Amino acid sequence: MRSVLCLIAFLLVSAWSGRTYSAVDTHEQAGAPAQRETANGPRDDGIGEQTESVAQAERLMSGDTVKVAVFEMVNVSDDRQFTGPTANAAAPLPASYFQRLDLSGDYVVQQDGRISMPRLGFVAATGRALQDVREEIQSSFTQVMGTAAEVNLTIVKRQPIYVVGAVKNSGAYDYAPGMIAIQAISLAGGIDRGAGRSAQLLERLRGAEKLEQTRAGLKRLIAKKARLETERDGASTIAVPARLKELAGSDEAERLIRDETELLHAGRRARAATTNDLDQQIESTEKHLAQLRQRADHFDAQKESRSTRIDLLQSLQQRGGVVQSSLITAQNELSDIEGRKQDFWITVAQTEQKLEAVRNGRAKFETDTMLSLSRELAQTTAEISDAERTLNVDAHATSTLNAMSGPEGLSEFYATPALDIIRRLDNTRSVMPAEDTTELLPGDVVRVRLVSPRAPSKGGLNAR
């Protein structure tokens, strides 16, 4: 039974070992030319020795992502208790490998410079070559697991390069080994001499437009206040305020006052028409009431005449000289006069109420007119105060923008680009001047500045 199990294990491990060896051999073959080239010395193609930046770029850095493949070596038992046509008791059994999926995978170099692997713990990575890290992982595996292992280690992702400043498309771009500053700037769209200037000019135009709008609104408010004050005081003409002349000049100030004078006259005509209409209603109601009161004497005379007639008819009836029907007719006429008199006085009362309402309406119109005028004047005064403050702020902002852009406003188009590289060294970041061909490291920030021709440049791209 043991022999059968050993045979099965041997066949399975041998099959896996064949695939493993071919992968490892292929990797070694792919790396062989580079090793031979290094061993043979510098290449005679004009490139020369690698710079310090290139050497540093080939080492692991914080933020790098590496792929680790761990292959554990397995020795097949030497129990040859099986027979067969191919059995050879004297032949040695080869070592076999199988991949440890629990340890293989992608790992990120953490900020503390280490890789955290399950069961093996932390492995220092930052600043070290791949070969050194690979050997340490193999050594750690042997110490922890008690068996040998082969480790493949490759970099699959590096930190991007960041390009900022006077470029057309600031942002992050994938790092490529051997990348230089001019290549990163090219990925960002190249030097942008006009974008900042265009934005600045647009901001200046917007500021100037807002300033002019605020000034125009303030001028209209001052002219309006002068009209309201003239209307309140009952004056015939509007005086030109000194502040309006200061803001608009004499000609424009006169024009604004003429416009407000037309509004003043139009408002006065409208109020005069309303007042005249109310006065006519009062006058007509008073005439109607006077006519009604004159008719009151007529009713009294008719009532007295009918009462005298009834008294006469009643005395004649007592003497037998008047028939009953004549007396009844006279009494009915008297009752009719009494009824019409009551209706008359009701009409008089209603007319008096109407007259009172019209008079009250006229008084209310005058009161409301003055109250509305006072409110509008107070609101206009407050708006003028706000506009004055806004004008001061806008004027200061516009002056600042003009000062920042310079008198000629075209300095950006004649400026010389200058490059700085912000690079992380250990736990600090260093800012260093750079040239077009300065080699970059993963995570570098390339900052492009436009330096005025009057100011000395620290180096960088040549203006073309």
* DSSP per-residue string spanning 69-97: EEEEEEPPP-------TT--TTSPPPPEE
User: Rounded to whole angstroms, how far apart are CA atoms 433 and 459?
Assistant: 7
What is the Cα–Cα distance from 260 to 15, expressed in whole angstroms? 103
Q: How far apart are CA 7 and CA 87, in angstroms?
A: 11
Separation CA 154–CA 69 (nearest Å)? 9
Tokens 């019209």 correspond to 358
Given a contact cutoff of 8 angstroms between Cβ atoms, the answer to whether 451 and 416 are in contact is yes
At 168 the pLDDT is 87
Residue 293: what pLDDT?
78
Q: Are 100 and 16 in contact (CB under 8 A)?
A: no
Residue 367 identity = T
CB 238 within 8 A of CB 257: yes
**What is the per-residue pLDDT for 91?**
53
Across-strand partners of 126? none
Handedness of CA 72, 77, 82, 88 (dihedral sign): positive
Which pLDDT value is given to residue 42?
39
Provide the pLDDT for residue 430.
Answer: 87
Q: Give the span between the Cα atoms of 97 and 149, in whole angstroms.
A: 8
Structure tokens at 16: 């896996």
How is residue 161 written in tokens? 């390069």
pLDDT at 208: 85
CA distance 122 to 87: 46
User: What's the angle, vertex CA 422, arms to CA 417 and CA 423, rounded to 5?
Assistant: 140
Q: Which residues pair with 434 in a beta bridge?
A: 419
Q: Which residues contact 384 (CB under 8 A, 6 or more apart)?
A: 218, 221, 222, 225
Is 43 in contact with 76 (CB distance < 8 Å)?
A: no
Between CA 115 and CA 126 the distance in angstroms is 9
Query: Among 460, 458, 410, which residue's Cα sits nearest to residue 436?
Result: 460
pLDDT at 101: 87
Task: Output the tens digit of pLDDT for each of the chain's 464 residues.
Answer: 444 334 344 444 344 333 333 333 333 333 333 333 333 333 344 333 334 555 566 788 888 888 999 898 887 554 444 444 554 555 555 668 888 888 888 998 888 888 988 988 898 888 888 899 999 898 988 888 888 888 999 888 888 999 998 888 889 998 888 899 999 999 998 888 765 566 666 777 788 888 899 999 999 999 999 999 999 998 989 999 999 999 999 999 999 999 999 999 999 999 999 999 999 999 998 888 888 877 776 766 777 777 777 767 677 766 666 556 776 777 777 777 777 777 778 888 888 898 899 899 989 998 999 999 999 999 999 999 999 999 898 888 888 777 665 544 455 556 788 899 998 776 778 888 989 899 998 888 999 988 876 544 444 444 33
- pLDDT, residue 260, reads 93
Place of tokens 């690979």: 134
Closest CA to 18 of 99, 92, 96, 100: 96
Residue 417's CB is within 10 A of a number of other CB atoms, namely 23
* CA 280 centroid distance within chain: 61
Hey, which residues does 422 pair with through a beta bridge?
A: 431, 445
